[in-house]
A = this chain, B = another copy of it.
């Protein structure tokens, strides 16, 4: 109802509304309260991540207003959700990935990237809607801008002389692991995380986590812990925003559940199938990526997009959503190998590319109905 109001007094609530909806749109929740809960979860996971997200989203809203984008889109958060990811993912991944503190330059580029994402988003939306079966821009603008920023800002000696940086990795598998697990925090960080998780989660879940962390640093123990795998599925939701924190992930799951049980169910299916299928590509003894939820976060988005958001939920679209998750995992593994030597994360590119393909699909029997007036699937 905020749209009917006008005047300076309503500026700030409108601004917050656009901000929160932008945060929620990342997981297909066009609702300010869901967005607020998720933003709080980001602040809980890491104060800096929360701040960076707010800063980036605000920059995007201001840029969109200056360049006179469609107000309905701004209010629905559709011009800002890419900037939300620029803020959260860059601030969350930068230190674990490159072991360099986030300095002023990185902050400046988060603001710049957020502003540019608005341009790229408008362009991509126009471009992708010109096909016979129009495509949404998903998080493609975020991926384009984030790949550019990470490539431009990463420590430059690395991609040129890979040997010097990789010399300290004893086995080839470890080198790849470093890249395939962009969010893997350093040892002390991991302990902090576990302790935090222990405060809230019930002990039956926490105990395997401790064992898990011990295992990562004890290479001889090669068994897969199903408890940790389950935990990885839960953590997947947080990884959509780049954070590796159980409480934050649980809050996000609850927020999506309250917004739409169908979407939440599809997201959970995606997380479960993505994580299990990801095990196929995981060598024994290096389950860190599985436990951290890195195989599930693209699955969540892929399943939710096909299974409930863009297609009406039917048995047929459910099956297509699962096929989309499988294809997403294949793309993710291929990208992890391709981007590995460049030390670039794959972000949500697997989800975007796979879902583009599946959104183009159609069937003669009218089994897949594109939802044109997109609301909550219920």
Binding site for B on A (CB under 8 A): 67-71, 105, 112, 115-116, 119-120, 122-124, 126-127, 129-133, 147-149, 151-152, 156-157, 159-161, 164, 172-173, 175-176, 280-281, 283, 316, 319-320, 323, 326-327, 330-331, 333-334, 337-338, 340-342, 357-365, 367
Contacts and interface: CB of A to CB of B under 8 A. Distances in A.
Nearest to A319: B67
A108 to B, nearest CB: 9
Nearest to A73: B364
A338 B127 CA distance: 26
Contacts of A326: 112, 116
Main secondary structure of the interface of A (DSSP, over half): helix
A334 B147 contact: yes
A363 B67 contact: yes
Contacts of A127: 131, 133, 360
A151 B337 contact: yes
A152 B119 contact: no
A175 B160 contact: yes
Given A361-B119, A363-B68, A281 B152 contact: yes
A68 B365 contact: yes
A57 B1 CA distance: 55
Given A148-B330, A152-B330, A357 B123 contact: yes
A119 B357 contact: yes
